[in-house]
């Protein structure tokens, strides 16, 4: 599946807390908007302990996050994204979520391909669904 990957997904993949995106291995290289990934790790609490079944644990999270970001197509935030994010949305979302959603919508329109929103953010998932996007990471209500 081709997905727009929200920073919340990358952080959970890197830190491996409960609730990590089960569909991660099904995601083909997609896109990530850069804001957010470097400023959210503390929100997941202490790193997971290392174990044979969980890999190296969260101690290597910054390196893991950089490796994950390098595996994705990076979509730069430009005036087109900011203009789209400033337009009315079908649901109430914050500024960063509006930038994520605008980036995904513009990418989807430019590529002419189906795009799945991969996020653990309920507001972003609701807004993406309002635009007809499939969402992974948040169960359908």
Put residue 72 in one of left, alpha, beta given phi > 0 → left and psi -120 to 50 → alpha. Answer: beta
pLDDT digits (tens, 9 = 90+) for 41-99: 444 444 444 444 444 444 566 777 777 777 777 777 899 999 999 999 999 999 999 99
Q: Give the right CATH number for 2-43+56-136 from 3.40.50.1010, 3.40.630.30, 3.10.290.10, 2.40.30.10.
A: 3.40.50.1010
> What is the percent of the chain with per-residue pLDDT over 90, rounded to a whole number?
34
Domain regions of the chain by residue span: 2-43+56-136
Cα 66 from Cα 97, distance rounded (Å) = 21
Q: pTM value?
A: 0.73
More confidently predicted of 26 and 121: 121
What's the mean pLDDT in 110-127? 91
**Tokens standing for residue 128:** 């993406």
Q: Tell me how far apart the 2 most distant CA atoms of the chain are, in Å.
A: 47
Cα 65 from Cα 101, distance rounded (Å) = 21
């Amino acid at each position: 599946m081709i997905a727009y990957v929200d920073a919340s997904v990358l952080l959970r993949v890197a830190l491996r807390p409960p609730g990590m995106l089960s569909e991660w291995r099904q995601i083909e290289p997609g896109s990530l908007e850069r804001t957010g990934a470097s400023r959210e790790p503390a929100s997941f609490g202490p790193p997971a302990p290392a174990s044979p079944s969980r890999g190296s644990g969260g101690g290597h999270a910054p390196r893991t996050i950089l490796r994950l970001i390098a595996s994705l197509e990076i979509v730069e935030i430009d005036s087109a994204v900011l203009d789209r994010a400033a337009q009315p949305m079908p649901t109430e979302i914050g500024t960063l979520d509006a930038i994520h959603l605008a980036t995904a919508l513009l990418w989807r329109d430019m590529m002419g391909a189906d795009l799945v929103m991969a996020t653990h953010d309920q507001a972003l998932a609701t807004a993406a669904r309002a635009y007809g996007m499939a969402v992974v990471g948040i169960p359908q209500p």
